[in-house]
Amino acid sequence: MRQHHDMGGLPAGPVARQEHDYALWEKRVDALMMLLSQRQLLRVDELRRNIEALAPDAYDTMSYYERWISAITQTLLQRGVLTSDELGRAMAEIEAREAGR
């Protein structure tokens, strides 16, 4: 059975072939993935599995790097590198810092 993310052979619309500048956060996601891979804390297969596990509405509305950061987060939680409590605290700290700007 075909999963939602599997577009093989289906019309998917036009593909933008021009290069574009990456946002700083996208560059950081890419660097994080490379660092975690080098330290053997993440494998490409895990990244792909967690991207493919996204719910259809999340998969359709997330950008490429948003899918990556979601999959990286899920992998680190699954491996026990991070706990959901640690992640929640870090997110709250970032939100508080951003609100204080």
Q: Which domains does the chain have, with CATH numbers?
A: 24-99 (1.10.472.20)
Tokens of 25: 């956060």
Mean pLDDT of the chain: 90
Give me the sign of the Cα torsion angle 6, 10, 13, 16.
positive
Confidence of residue 80 (pLDDT cuts 50, 70, 90): very high
Confidence of residue 6 (pLDDT cuts 50, 70, 90): low
- Report the predicted TM-score, pTM, of the whole model to 2 decimal places: 0.81
Q: What is the pLDDT of residue 41?
A: 94
46 vs 20, residue with greater confidence: 46
- Region of 65 (left: φ > 0; alpha: ψ -120 to 50; beta: rest) is alpha
- b/e per residue 42-71 (b: at least 16 CB within 10 A): beeebbeebbeebeeeebeeeeebbbbbbb
CB 57 within 8 A of CB 66: no
Nearest alpha carbon to residue 51 among 31, 33, 71, 22? 71
